[in-house]
Every structure is written in structure tokens, then in C-alpha cells.
Structure 1
Amino acid sequence: MSLFSVFGRWYRRKFSDPDAAMLLILILLSATVLVVWGGLIMPVLVAAVIAYLLDWPVTRLVNVGVGRTLACSLVMVAFVAITILLLVGLVPTISKQSVNLIQETPLIWQNAQEWILRLPDRYPDYVQVYQIQQMMEGFNDHMVEFGQTVLSASVSSLGNVAALLVYMILVPLMVFFMLKDKMFFLDSISNLLPAERRLITQVGHEMNTQIANYIRGKVIEIVIVGAVSCVTFALMDLRYSILLGVLVGLSVLIPYIGAAVVTIPVAVVALFQWGLTPDFYYLMIAYGIIQALDGNLLVPLLFSEAVSLHPLYIIVAVLFFGGLWGFWGVFFAIPLATLVKAVITAWSGPEVILPEQ
């Protein structure tokens, strides 16, 4: 039996159902729109993410008798006020600490070079001078290239001021209307879907819950891990504590990989500040406890309703979707991987009867 005949039988078995064919067409169309026009509709996607986040407090206010328009207005005012306070309080400090860290990077690298150059004297049987020289030359070349890349990126980012203004003005407006007229937009999307939409509805119901839980849980996780890290680093008198704490908080966006990557700047700054002293080891132990509590306590509590995925699938999803859509691809790597799993389950599993709306 040829490969083509096997594929043909699989195709007829899976896509002879009009519902399965419609689901495949919708996925292909959505993926094409995101790939081709993703940059243009990014403000809409950002607004949708924030709307998912704020829909929970709006729904709670509506349930206690507050009108939906008033509830949306109150939640939006609170959200904008908290955002402004965070920007005013954090951004200047983070910017100042970032500049100071960049200015001290050559000194940190010089101290690291001096320590590395002493290795042949300490371990002559394992480390040779020519090996150290070759490694240092290659690393210095990479450092120069990295500096040039950062400089060019900084210059090019000046042109994004207009885009930032668009986000600051249009995105809050879109979020307000998405919250206020939620049912209108849902009905409009429903009217656009084809009649053969059993599998589309099945996958849509599952993903709507998953994405809402994921966005809300991920924001809470970022805030808790970032705040605890900032307080811990500040109490231990670590330099650049706010900057490093924010980096640790943002690192939870990338499961497994983020925690491993952000460990490097934390360890380098601590090593440069204290050397191999008890203070350094105490800090790394505290940092390890934060990561352990996040992975073993906080994540299971926040994402208890999420579909379990193997760590390998999560890493592959982060690499794939992050390569396609950058930050937002990384942010939605787990929901998108869950979508793939839901689609495969819908195609291969038995028919699921959905409740009446």
C-alpha cells in the first residue's frame, strides 16, 4: 500500500465530515490572517487580551446588580489608574538601573576576564592558556556585535513613539467597547461562522475558557513572582533589585526557559557585588526557593483548570510561536499548544454534545 493511498484514506475518514472541513478551513484562514496582517491588527489583539483580563471583574460587578456600562467604566478607570501608577513608579527606576547596569557591564566583564585568566595557574592540568585566549577572543567579538545590535535597536526604537501613542489611546477605547458590547461582538462572530460548526463550537468553548484562565493566571503569576523577587532582592541589599525582580517576574512568560535565562543576570550581579561569599549563596538559595514555590505551588493553584501538556510540547510551542509572533507568540504559546491539542482531540475523538446556549 502506497503512502499516497494511506494519506487519502486518512483524509477521507477525517474530512468527509463537513464540520471537520469547516474547522480546517477556519484554522487555515485565521493562521493566514495572523501571519500576513498580524502586525497591522496587533493593537486589536492586545485589546482583546486586556478585555479577557478585565472581563472577570466586570462580570462580578454585573452579577451584584451594577449596570454593564457603569461596571465597564469603573473597571477601566481602575485599570488605567493602576497602569499609570505602575509606569510612574517603576519605569523611571527600571530605566535608571538599566542604564547603570549597562555602564558597569565593562567593569563586570573585566573582573570576569581577570578571574578566567587565573584559571590556568589554579588548574594547570585541566585549563591551558591558549584555550583561554581563544575563548576570550571569540567572546569579545560576540560582545562587540551584541553592543552594535543594541545600539542600532535603540536608534530604531525612536520611531516607535507614534505606535506607542496609538496603543495608549486606541487600545483603552477598544477594550472598553469590547467589554461593554461583548454579547454584540460574540453574536456577530457567531453569524459569520458557517452552519457546519459543531467542531468549531466545541473547540471554541474549550479555548475560550482556557485563554481566559491563562491570561488571568499569568498576569497574577507575573505580579506575585515579580513583587516577591523585588522585595527579596531589596531586603538582601542586592544592586539593581527592582530591575532584576521585574526580569524574574517577566521570565514566567516563558516556561522553563525563562527561569534558566534570568538566572544568569541575577547570579552575575550577585557575584560581581559579593564574590563567592555567604551573601552570594544566601541570595541564590532565596532565588531558588522563589522559583521552586512558583513552579510547585503557585502554578498548580493558578492553572489548575488548564489542560496538562508535556514540558517538551511547551518548549517546542514557545520556540515555534515565539519565532512567528515574538512576544505575543511566547505569551500565548501554551494556549496555542492547547488549541492544537483541542483540534486534534475534536478531529479524532467522539462527538461531544454541547449544552444549549
Structure 2
Amino acid sequence: MSLRRILKSWVERYFSDEEALILLLVLIAGFAAVIWFGRMLAPFFTALVIAFLLQGVVSALTRRGIPHLLSVIVVFLGFVGVLLALAFILLPLIWDQLIGLVQETPRMFASGQNWLDELQSRYPNLITPDQMQNWIGVASREISQLGQRALTLSLASLGNLLSLIIYLVLVPILVFFMLKDREALVGFTLSLLPQKRALMARIWREMDDQIANYIRGKFIEIIIVGTVSFITFSFFKLPYTALLAVLVGFSVLVPYIGAAVVTLPVAAVAGFQFGLSESFVYVLVAYGVIQALDGNVLAPVLFSETNNIHPVSVIVAVLFFGGIWGFWGVFFAIPLATLLKALVHAWPRGMKGRDERHHALASEESMEESL
């Protein structure tokens, strides 16, 4: 069979349905808009994520008989209060601890070098002087690069401050109107789509609750893991507690990889504070228990309603979408992987799939008429 006939057969199987072609064009246009205009529309996408988080609370208040506008106002005021608390309490504390950690880095490096010297003297056959010099050279280069990045960050602080002000002004305004005029905005978006969109509607119904539950679940997971880590690190009197707790909390955004990466700063700070003592071991054991409980207890409870995706697919999705869109790609890696999974299962398979779908729709219509 020639290549032309193979391609023709493949196209006829997967794209013989008109709605499948329309869905493909919509997906291509959506991904292209995010890739090309993602940085420009970042406040909009941020507000969209936050609106997803808050819509569940608005719906819960509305179901209890509270008017929609009043529910939106109450939820929005709570969101603004949390945002102000983060901006004026938590962020300055984290920034001060980050500056202190950068200033302490040379001392931590000297302490680590002394530890390596002691380890090499105890186990000369395990660690050679050449290996130790290579490790010291790599660490020195990393510290110098860290200093350069800190200097660059300080020089660009004015632009970052301006961006932060824009976010603090635009994002709350967008969130308020997204919550207040949700029905109108959804109706306008649907009016831009073709009238024949049964396949898109079915995929959207499958994905709507899953994406919303995932975003809310991740938000709750970050809060719980970060709070427990803060209490644990405070109990051991570990320095830079707030900074480390925030890092551990946000590490849940990247399954498997995040926990492994954040282990390095936790171990470094604990080693610098306690040395190779029992307290150092206790901190690492406590951190391991937190990660184990998160992965085996908390995450299954929060995401029990989402589709199960194989760990290999999760890691590939994190690497791929994170490489394309950075932080937001990592954040939405699992929802996007779930979307692709739903597309694969719902995509029409040629004329047979289309006929079966039409027959199912006709059966549903006849059942509704009989009822």
C-alpha cells in the first residue's frame, strides 16, 4: 500500500466527520492563541484560574438561597482580603527570608566544604581529592551564577514591581466580572462556536468538572501541605521556615519531580543548621512523612473524581507543557493530559463512529420525548 493511500485512509478514518474537523480547528486556534499571546494575556488567564477556584463557593452560596450578586460580592471581598494578606504579610516575610538565605549561602558553602573535607579524610577510598575538587568547582560556579541572578533581579525590580501592580489591579477586576457575568460570558463564547457542536459539548461536559475540581484540589493541597510543613519546620526551629514551607507547598504542582527538587534546599538548610546530627535526620524523616502522606492520602482524597492517568503520562505532560508554557504549563499539565485522554476516547472513528453517535443521540431524543 502506497504512502498516499495510507494517509488517505487515516484522514478518512479520523477526519471524515465535519464536527471533528471543526473541533480540530478550534483546538489549533486555542493553542496558537495561548502560545503567541500567552504573555500578553497572562492577567486574563490568571483571573480565569482564580474564577474557577471561586465559582464553586459562589455556586454553593447560591444553592443556599443567597442571591447571585450578593454571593459574588461576599466571595470577592474574601478573595481581596486574602490577596491583601498575601501581599502585605506573607510576601514581605518570604522576601526577607530569601535575602537572608542568599546572604548565608557563602557560609553554607564553606560549611559544606568542611564537611566534604572531613568525609574525604574519613573515607579516602570512597572520595578522591579530584572528585572533591570537581564538586567544589561546580558548587562555586552555581553560587556565582546565583549571585548574578540576584543582581539581575534587583536591577529589574522596577519592572517587576510595575508588573505586580498591574496584576494586583487588573486580576481582581477581571475576577469580579467573570463571576458576576459568568452566564453572559459563557453564552457569548458559545455564540462564536458552530451550531453543530455535539462532540465539543460532550468533551466539555467531561472536562468541566474535572478541570474545576483539579484546580480547587491543587489549591487546597498547596495550603494544607504548606501549612503542615510550616508547623513541622517551626517545631524543629529550622531557619527560613516560611520560605521552605512555601517551596514544599508549591512542589505539589509537579508530581514526583517537585518533591525531589525541594528536598535539596530542605536538606541544605537542615544540614547547615544541625550538621550531621539526629535533628538533621528527624527533619528529613518528617519531610519524607509529609510527602508520603500527601501522595498516598491527601492527593487521592482530593482528586478521587478525576481520571486516573499513568505516572509516565503525568511526567511526560509536565515536561512537555512545562517546557512550552513554564509555570502555567506545569500547573495545567494534568488537566491538559486529561483533555487529550478525553479527546482520544471521544474522537469519532470514521463513518461507523459517526453513525453510532447519531444513533445514540436519536435514542436520547426519543427517550426525552417519551418522558
Contact 1:14/1:347 (<8 A) preserved: yes
AA matched with 1:43: P
Partners in 2 of 1:117 and 1:7 — Cα distance?
A: 64
Task: Note if contact 1:72-1:176 (Cα within 8 Å) is conserved in structure 2.
Answer: yes
CA RMSD of aligned residues (A): 1.9
Q: Secondary structure of the equivalent of 1:118?
A: helix
1:82 aligns with 2:85: no
Are 2:150 and 1:142 aligned?
no
Q: Flag as ranges the 4+ runs of structure 1 deviating above 6 A.
A: 354-357
Q: SS in structure 1 opposite 2:276?
A: coil
Contact map agreement 2:225 2:249 (CA 8 A) in 1: yes
For 2:253, what is the secondary structure of its paired residue? coil
Deviation of 1:348 after TM superposition, in Å, equals 5.2
CA distance in 2, matches of 1:102, 1:340: 41
1:22–1:196 CA contact under 8 A, matched in 2? no
Shift in CA distance, 131/283, structure 1 to aligned 2, threshold 3 Å: closer
State the Cα distance separating 1:102 from its structure 2 match.
Answer: 1.0
Aligned-residue offset at 1:172: 1.0
Quote the offset at 1:157 in angstroms.
3.9
Give the 5 Å matches for 1:104-183.
Answer: 104-183=104-183
- Check whether the contact 1:18–1:196 (CA below 8 A) recurs between aligned residues: no
Between stretches 49-58 and 319-328, larger displacement belongs to 319-328
Question: Which residue is equivalent to 2:337?
Answer: 337
- The letter of the residue matching 2:273 is Q
Could you tell me which residue of structure 2 aligns to residue 261 of structure 1?
261
TM-superposed CA distance for 1:254, in Å, is 0.9
In the alignment, the residues of structure 2 paired with residue 58 and residue 197 of structure 1 have an alpha-carbon distance, to the nearest angstrom, of 28
Q: Deviations over 1:267-294 (max 9, x none)?
A: 1111111112111111111111111111
Report the CA distance shift for 1:281/1:139 in structure 2 as closer, same or farther (over 3 A).
Answer: closer
What is the number of residues matched between the two proteins?
A: 357
Q: Deviations over 1:71-116 (max 9, x none)?
A: 1011100111122123333122212211111111100001111222
Deviations 1:209-228 (A, max 9, x none): 11110111000000000001
- Answering whether residue 230 of structure 2 is matched by residue 230 of structure 1, we say yes
Q: Does 1:302 align with 2:302?
A: yes
For residue 223 of structure 1, what is the amino acid of its counterpart? I
SS, match of residue 347 in structure 2: helix
Please name the residue that 1:44 is paired with: 44
Match of residue 59 from structure 1 = 59
Secondary structure of residue in 2 paired with 1:252: helix
* Offset at residue 123 of structure 1 (A): 2.0
Alignment partners' CA distance in 2, 1:169 and 1:44: 12
2: CA distance, partners of 1:353 / 1:284: 56
Which structure would you say has the larger RCO, counting Cα contacts within 8 Å and 6 or more residues apart? 2
* Residues 32-82 of structure 1, C-alpha deviations (whole Å, 9 max, x = no match): 111111111111111111111111111111112211111101110011112
Question: Deviations for 1:128-160, whole angstroms, at most 9, x for unmatched residues?
Answer: 212322332233223323321332133224212
For residues 205-255 of structure 1, the C-alpha deviation after alignment (integer angstroms, 9 at most, x for no partner) is: 122111110111000000000001001110111111111111111111111
CA contact (8 A) 1:234 1:241 kept: yes
- Percent sequence identity is 47
Q: Distance in 2 between matches of 1:326 and 1:275?
A: 35
**8 Å Cα contact 2:17/2:348 also seen in 1:** no
Residue 192 of structure 1 is matched in structure 2 by: 192
In structure 2, the partner of 1:9 is 9
In structure 1, what residue type is equivalent to 2:290?
Answer: I
Q: Does structure 2 conserve the Cα–Cα contact (< 8 Å) formed by 1:244 and 1:266?
A: yes
Flag the 1:2–1:150 CA change in 2: closer, same or farther, 3 A.
farther
Unaligned 5+ segments in structure 2 are none
Deviation, structure 1 residue 301: 0.7
User: Whole-Å Cα distance in 2 between the matches of residues 170 and 217 of structure 1?
Assistant: 25
TM score, norm. by length of structure 2: 0.91
